[in-house]
């Protein structure tokens, strides 16, 4: 985590009166801060403490863990985090390790295995869709090629970005919610002063930092799955940016001050949240008046991600597109809308997933 982030991040804890939003300071007493040898502004490990409610948030492998129960979060996926840390030669320090174990004494980790968005396979699927072009990876006789030539001129991210670009300016702070491995952060950062990626899956956040900040090491390649266990190594372009940072946090409890932000994206995440309305309210809270909200999703509601009562539309006679439009109009004016933005996922060489996201860009009025 770069030192500059302490100016923008705040405490996401939920108190009786609402979000705490206290200032976070680096506590040098509890856990000795560990900085990168080659960059003293890079905090690899440490403890952030809220000046208002005293909640503590660890920084692990360069990522601040700004979630409600950060110790439980770490413990639930501790094996995977320890593995990633060791692989990156950033072993978890002794004091931090003791804190995690002590705070979780007597409980079993909830996710000893890999969960969907934290899995290696899915992280690499997202590297492919964010930073590679499936057309260049297909054999010349693949039947998808002529279809793509005809009907798929630009990838999802270029289209979604093209919709907000005219409304951005280089003084803005941007936030990309559910950023996965970082394409949205990368794109926004080309037009904003500073951009934060907010991601709940540790593995994705870790990889996003490797891609965007080259920390702890640049991600040069990924594995594209072809068939069963067979995969091919593909190179990744250099997508580093100085004006970005990634935080582990929930889109439903953003660690940013109210009115602090000029643009927020939520791309393909609204139908993956327990409480989508809470995310929209959080986006509206952090945006300043006149700020830009970009929403895109295929509205693929599933009870396992979003219990039905939280769906915005998609039930009774109300289509999600209409319900979303109506909801956004409560606080904002709509600047642009696209009915269908194709989003193509390579799963295997003979298995693709196609989504058609609805895209909407709005400006906050009140």
The contact set with ligand SAM (CB under 6 A) reads 117, 177-180, 184, 198-201, 204, 250-252, 267-269, 272-273
Q: Which of 25, 28, 41, 53 binds Zn ion (CB under 5 A)?
A: 53
CA distances (Å), origin 280, targets 160, 341, 361: 18, 21, 13
Residue 200 binding: pick among Zn ion, ligand SAM, none (C-beta 5-8 Å cut-off by kind): ligand SAM
CA distances (Å), origin 281, targets 286, 331, 335: 9, 10, 19
Nearest to 313 by CA among 279, 364, 269, 270: 270
Residue 199 binding: pick among Zn ion, ligand SAM, none (C-beta 5-8 Å cut-off by kind): ligand SAM
Q: Which one, 55 or 212, has the nearer CB to Zn ion?
A: 55
Establish if 289 lies at the interface with Zn ion (CB under 5 A). Answer: no
Q: What is d(CA 142, CA 346) in angstroms, rounded to the nearest whole number? A: 13
Minimum distance of ligand SAM from residue 38's CB (angstroms): 29
Minimum distance of Zn ion from residue 39's CB (angstroms): 28
Minimum distance of ligand SAM from residue 19's CB (angstroms): 15
Give me the 130-159 binding string for Zn ion, x by CB under 5 A, dash otherwise: ------------------------------
Q: Which stretch binds Zn ion (CB under 5 A): 51-59, 184-192, 230-238, 337-345?
A: 51-59
Q: Which of 19, 48, 49, 50 binds Zn ion (CB under 5 A)?
A: 50
H-run or E-run covering 158: helix 156-164
Determine how many CB atoms are found less than 10 A away from the CB of residue 329: 12
Nearest to 246 by CA among 28, 61, 69, 71: 61
Minimum distance of ligand SAM from residue 180's CB (angstroms): 4
Collapse the DSSP code of 271 into the 3-class scheme (helix H, G, I; strand E, B; otherwise coil) and give the result: helix
Establish if 11 lies at the interface with Zn ion (CB under 5 A). Answer: yes
Minimum distance of Zn ion from residue 9's CB (angstroms): 11
Minimum distance of ligand SAM from residue 112's CB (angstroms): 18
Residue 298 binding: pick among ligand SAM, Zn ion, none (C-beta 5-8 Å cut-off by kind): none
CA distances (Å), origin 37, targets 60, 111, 216, 217, 261: 16, 33, 11, 13, 32
Q: Which one, 31 or 253, has the nearer CB to ligand SAM?
A: 253
Q: What is d(CA 24, CA 288) in angstroms, rounded to the nearest whole number? A: 21
Minimum distance of Zn ion from residue 56's CB (angstroms): 10
Q: Which one, 1 or 273, has the nearer CB to ligand SAM?
A: 273
Q: Which one, 188 or 247, has the nearer CB to Zn ion?
A: 247
Q: What is d(CA 180, CA 178) in angstroms, rounded to the nearest whole number? A: 6
Residues 6+ apart with CB under 8 A from 60: 45, 74, 81, 85, 92, 96
Provide the token pair at 148: 């793509």
Establish if 13 lies at the interface with Zn ion (CB under 5 A). Answer: yes
Q: What is d(CA 245, CA 8) in angstroms, rounded to the nearest whole number? A: 11
Looking up tokens 């509890």, which residue turns up? Answer: 30
Q: What is d(CA 354, CA 342) in angstroms, rounded to the nearest whole number? A: 7
Binding residues vs Zn ion (CB under 5 A): 11, 13, 20, 22, 50, 52-53, 55
């Amino acid at each position: 985590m770069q030192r500059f982030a302490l100016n923008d991040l705040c405490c996401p804890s939920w108190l009786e009166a609402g979000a705490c939003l206290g200032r976070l300071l680096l506590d040098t007493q509890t856990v000795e801060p560990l900085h990168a040898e080659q960059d003293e502004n890079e905090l690899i490990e440490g403890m952030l403490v809220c000046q208002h409610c005293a909640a503590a948030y660890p920084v692990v492998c360069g990522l601040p863990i700004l979630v409600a129960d950060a110790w439980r979060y770490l413990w639930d996926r501790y094996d995977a985090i320890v593995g990633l840390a060791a692989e990156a030669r950033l072993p978890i320090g002794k004091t931090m390790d003791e804190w995690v174990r002590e705070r979780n004494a007597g409980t079993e980790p909830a996710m000893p295995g890999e969960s969907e968005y934290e899995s290696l396979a899915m992280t690499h699927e997202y590297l492919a869709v964010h930073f590679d072009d499936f057309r260049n990876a297909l054999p010349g006789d693949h039947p998808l090629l002529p279809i793509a030539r005809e009907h798929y001129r630009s990838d999802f991210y270029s289209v979604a970005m093209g919709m907000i670009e005219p409304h951005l300016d280089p003084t803005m702070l941007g936030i990309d919610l559910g950023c996965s491995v970082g394409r949205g952060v990368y794109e926004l950062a080309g037009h904003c002063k500073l951009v934060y990626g907010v991601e709940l899956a540790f593995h994705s956040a870790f990889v996003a930092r490797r891609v965007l900040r080259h920390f702890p090491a640049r991600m040069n390649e990924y594995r594209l799955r072809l068939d069963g266990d067979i995969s091919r190594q593909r190179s990744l372009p250099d997508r580093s940016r100085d004006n970005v940072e990634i935080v582990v946090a929930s889109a439903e409890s953003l660690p940013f001050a109210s009115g602090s932000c000029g643009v927020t994206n939520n791309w393909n995440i609204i139908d993956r949240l327990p409480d989508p309305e809470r995310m929209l309210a959080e986006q509206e809270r952090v945006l300043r008046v006149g700020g830009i909200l970009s929403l895109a999703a295929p509205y693929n509601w599933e009870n396992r991600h979003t219990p039905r009562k939280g769906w915005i539309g998609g039930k009774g006679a109300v289509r999600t597109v209409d319900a979303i439009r109506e909801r956004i109009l409560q606080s904002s004016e709509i600047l642009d809308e696209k009915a269908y933005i194709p989003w193509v996922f390579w799963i295997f060489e003979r298995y693709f997933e196609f989504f058609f996201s609805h895209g909407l860009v709005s400006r906050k009025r009140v």
